[in-house]
A and B are shown apart, each in its own frame.
Chain A
Amino acid sequence: MSDSPAIVHEADHHEHPAYLRHHFESVEQQADTTNFAMWLFLLTEVMFFGGLFTAYLIYRNWYYQAFVAGSHQLSILWGTLNTGVLISSSFTMAMGVWCAETRRRQGLVLSLVITFVLGLVFLGIKSIEYSEKIEKHHVPGFHYSLQSFLDPDSDEAAKAAGDKPLPLDVARHTEVYFSLYFAMTGMHALHMIIGIAILGYMIFRAQAGAYTTGHVTFVENFGLYWHFVDIIWIFLFPLLYLISRHA
C-alpha cells in the first residue's frame, strides 16, 4: 500500500500515433471519451427538439381539426419520398462507418458521397415543398392566407383530401400548425445543412485516407449525429404529414 500518489512508474508508450492528444493515456481512452461526448451533445439536441415536440403535442390536441386541414396541405408523395431518402442515407452512413472500421478507403468515400447526395436530395425536395407553401401563402405571419381552409374547393390539395370548409376561428388555428411545421422542419433542415457541410469536409479527408488508418472516431461520431437527424425526421413525418389521411 503506497502512501504517496506520485509513484514513479514508467510511462510506457506502446503506441503514440500522431492523433493521440497528450492529455489522454491511450487511443482507446480518446475514442471512448469523444464518443461519449458526442452522445451527450445528442442529448442536448433531444431536449432542444423536445421543446418543439411539446408545443406540437399541446396544439395538436387543442386544434385537431385545424391540424388535420393543415396537414392535408402537405404532399404525401414528397414526404414519403424524403423519408425514404433520409433512411437510405442513414444506411449509407452506417456503411461508411463500416468501411472506415475495415479500412476500405474507396468504400468510405463512396458511402460518404452517396450520403451527401441523398442529403442534398432531401433538401431539394424540402425546398420544393417550402416554395409551394410560400406560393399558397401558408407561411405564418403577415401574408398568411386562410383561403384554402375557408374554401377548400379552391385548393387542389384540400379538394383531393375531401376537406369541408372550416369555420373562421378553426381556420385561423391552421396558422399554429404551420408555425410548428416551419419551426420543426426548418430546425431539422438547418441541422441537415450543417451535417452536409461537415460531410463535404469529410469526403476530402476520407479521400486523403485520414479515416482508414485506424482512427475512425470522427466518422463514427458524425454518423451518430447523422442518424440522430434521421430519427428526428422519423418522428416529424407521421406527426406532420400523416395526422389523418382517411376520409
Chain B
Amino acid sequence: MSSTIVSLPDQSTARIPKVNYLTKENGLLSWLLTGDHKRIAILYLISITFFFFIGGALAGLIRLELLTPQADLMATDTYNKVFTMHGVIMIFFFLVPSVPATLGNFLIPLMIGAKDLALPKINLLSWYLYLAGGTLALYTMMTGGVDTGWTFTTPLSTHYLNTNVLTTGLAVFIAGFSSIFTGLNFIVTIHKMRCPGMTWFRLPLFVWAHYAASILMVLGTPVLAIAIVLVALERTIGIGVFDPTKGGDPLLFQHLFWFYSHPAVYIMILPGMGVISETISTFSRKRVFGYTAVAFSSVAIAVFGFFVWAHHMFIMGISNYAMLVFSLLTMLVAVPSAIKIFNWTFTLYKGSITFETPMLYSFGFMGLFTIGGLTGVFLGTSGTDIHLTETYFIVAHFHFVMVGGMLMAFLAGIHFWWPKMTGRMYPEKISQLAAVVTFIGFNFTFFPQFILGTLGMPRRYAAYPPEFQILNVFSTAGASILGVGYLLPVIYLVWSLKYGEIAGSNPWQATGLEWQIQSPPLTENFVVTPIMDHEAYDYDWLEKKKEKEVVTSVG
C-alpha cells in the first residue's frame, strides 16, 4: 500500500508559520487565562490524556487481579474501589469530554467560519470546572476511594457504605457542569456564528454530530446533577427519598441516574461518529453518502436516546409493562446508528481508499462499533438481557462501543487533525503499527469477555470460578498489548512536535474550512470572514481551488 493522499510542502523550504495561535502570546497566564478555543482545546487534550492514563492504570490493576480466580492481588473491597474509580474516571473525565472538549473545541469555530466559540469565557470556565472535578476525583482516590461502582446504586451508596461517596459525587457534579457549559457553548455557536453561506446542510457532519451530543449534554446532565444532590442529602441528613424504611424508593435514583447516563453514552459516541464521517470521506476521496440521512440520524439518536434509559434497569424491579415499553424503544434507537454505518460503507464503495493512520482507526471503529452495537440489541431485548445483564457480556458490550468505537474514533481524530493543530505530521509507519497493535490488543482483551459473559461470569467480582481462568488470562494478555498500543501514540506524537514533517495547510487534501487556512491556525482563525459557497465534502471544488493556488498562510 504505497498510495497515499498526503501532500506536504517541500520540506527543505517549508516552515511553521511564525504567527499562529501557539506563538501569539507567551507565558503561563496567557494560557491559563486564554479565551482562544484552540488553546483551551490543547489544555483539555493534556488533561484528558492524563486522566486517561490514570483510568488505564486502574484497568491494568483490574486485569492483573483477574489473572487468577482468587481475589489474591487485592482485597475484594479494594477491587470494588478500583473498578469504581476506573469507571468514574474513564467515563466522566475521559470519554465524555474526549472529542468534544478537544477536537470539538478546536474545530467547530474553524469548520463554521467563526473567530471563536460564542462564549469564550464560559469555555475556559468549563476547563477549570473539569480540573476541579478531576482533582476531587484524584483526592477521593488518595483518601480511600469509593466502591459503589460508577453507577452509585442506592441504597448501597446511601446507606451501606462508609467510603467517599460524597466527594466522588461532588467531583462528578462539578464535571457535569463542565460538560453542560461545553454543550451550551456548542449549540449557541452552531446556531448563531456560522459564516455567510454556511447553511445547516453545508456543515461538516462533525458539526452535526456535536450539535446532537450537545443537546444531550444540556438536557440530560442536570438530571444526573439532581440525582447526586439527592444522594448527598440522603447520606448527610437522611431525607428518605431513596430509603425504603422511610417510604422512599431506591429505584427512583436509578430512574434519575439512567435518564442521564443512557444519553451519556450517546454524548460519548456521537462526536466520535462525527470524526468518522470526516475521515471516511477524506480517505475515500468521496462525499459522505446520504449526507442528510447521516445528519438527521445524529439528531434522531439524540432524541430517541432520551426514551430508552430503563433498559439498564430490566432486572432492578421495574414493572413488566415498563420493561416492554423500554425494550421496544431500544430497538428503535439502534436504527439511526445502523443508518450511519450503512452510509459510511456506501461512502467507501467506489471511493479511492488509502490507508493512512486515521483511516485504519476508522476501519477499526466501523467493525468494532458494529459488533458492540449489535450486542447492544441482544441486551436491549429484555428476554436475553435477564441472563446477560451484570455479566461480562455487558462489560464486553460497552467496551466494544466505547473503546473499540469511541476511543478509536478519538485516536483517528487526533491523528487526522494533528497536522492542523500543531503544524506537524506524525510519523506514519509507527502510527499505523500502533493502530494495528491497538486493534489486535483490543480484540484479545474484550472478545473473550463476550464468551465469559454468556458462560455466566458476573461482572464486578474479584474472584471467579476456576473454569473461567483461561479466558481471563487471554483478556489480560490482550490488555497488555492494548496498553502498548496506547502508549505509542503519546510517545511519537510528542516526538513529532519537534521532529515531525511540516504539514502545510492541507496535508490530506481535505475539504472543510479548517483545511483552507494555515497550520497551526492564527488566533483569530480567519484573516477575513470566509464565505461558504460550496457543499460539504465537495472534492470538485477542492480540485478547482488547487488549480488557482490561493496562498492563505501567514508568516
Contact = CB atoms under 8 A, between A and B. Distances in A.
Q: Touch between A and B in complex, CB under 8 Å?
A: yes
Interface of A: 1-9, 11, 21-23, 25, 29, 32-34, 36-37, 40-41, 43-52, 54-55, 58-59, 62-63, 66, 139-142, 172-173, 175-176, 179-180, 182-183, 187
A156 B114 CA distance: 65
A32 to B, nearest CB: 6
B192 A32 contact: yes
B526 A6 contact: yes
A40 B531 contact: no
Contacts of A50: 222-223, 226
Contacts of B113: 5
5 contacts: A2-B533, A54-B256, A58-B252, A175-B239, A175-B247
A11 B246 contact: no
B225 interface: yes
A165 B120 CA distance: 59
Nearest to B239: A179
A58 B533 CA distance: 54
B238 A142 contact: yes
A183 B233 contact: yes
Contacts of A179: 233, 239-241, 248
A54 B249 CA distance: 12
Contacts of B531: 2, 5, 7
Contacts of B295: none
Most buried by B among A4, A23, A187: A23
B450 to A, nearest CB: 35
A25 B529 contact: yes
Give the 9 A-B CB pairs with smallest separation, nearest first.
A51-B226, A5-B530, A179-B239, A23-B116, A48-B222, A47-B222, A23-B115, A141-B237, A173-B247
Interface in B494-519: 513, 516
A66 B246 CA distance: 12
Given A5-B516, A9-B528, A179-B240, A47 B247 contact: no
Given A5-B516, A44-B222, A59 B247 contact: yes
Interface of B: 109, 113-120, 122, 180, 184-185, 187-188, 191-193, 195, 218-223, 225-227, 229-230, 233, 237-241, 246-249, 252, 255-256, 259, 513, 516, 524, 526-533, 541, 544-545, 548, 550, 552
A51 B256 contact: yes
A47 B219 contact: yes
B223 A47 contact: yes
Contact of A33 (B118, B233, B259, B524): B118
Nearest to B183: A40
B238 A44 contact: no
A37 B541 contact: no
Given A5-B516, A7-B531, A40-B184, A175 B222 contact: no
Contacts of A32: 192
**Does more than half of chain A's interface fall in helix, strand or loop, or is it mixed?**
helix
A180 B255 CA distance: 17
A29 B196 CA distance: 13
B238 A37 contact: no
Contacts of B241: 55, 59, 176, 179-180, 183
Contacts of B529: 9, 11, 25
B180 A44 contact: yes
A37 B545 CA distance: 37
Nearest to B195: A5
Given A9-B528, A59-B241, 6 more contacts: A7-B531, A23-B120, A29-B192, A37-B122, A51-B230, A55-B252
Contacts of A180: 241
Nearest to A1: B533
Most buried by A among B113, B247, B533, B550: B247
Given A36-B192, A37-B184, A52-B226, A5 B239 contact: no
Nearest to B237: A141
B184 A41 contact: yes
A175 B223 contact: no
A4 B547 CA distance: 11
B118 A37 contact: yes
B550 A33 contact: no
Contacts of A52: 226
A174 to B, nearest CB: 9
Contacts of B527: 6
Contacts of B223: 47-48, 50-51
Contact of A176 (B122, B184, B248): B248
Contacts of A43: 218-219
Given A23-B114, A29-B192, A37-B118, A6 B541 contact: no
Contact of A6 (B180, B218, B530): B530
Contact of B255 (A1, A33, A41, A54): A54
B528 A45 contact: no
Contacts of A6: 516, 526-528, 530, 550, 552
Given A23-B115, A48-B225, A58-B249, A36 B220 contact: no
Nearest to B259: A51
A180 B229 CA distance: 12
B100 to A, nearest CB: 15
Contact of A44 (B191, B221, B541, B545): B221
B539 to A, nearest CB: 14
B226 A140 contact: no
A35 to B, nearest CB: 10
A142 B238 CA distance: 8
B463 to A, nearest CB: 37
A1 B527 CA distance: 21
A220 B541 CA distance: 44
Contact of B548 (A4, A175, A187): A4
A40 B187 contact: yes
Given A40-B184, A40-B187, A175 B526 contact: no
A47 B256 contact: no
Given A7-B531, A175-B247, A176-B246, A36 B191 contact: yes
Contacts of B115: 22-23
Nearest to B109: A23
B153 to A, nearest CB: 17
B532 A5 contact: yes
Contact of B188 (A1, A33, A142): A33
Contacts of A45: 222
A41 B238 CA distance: 30
B247 A36 contact: no
A40 B216 CA distance: 12
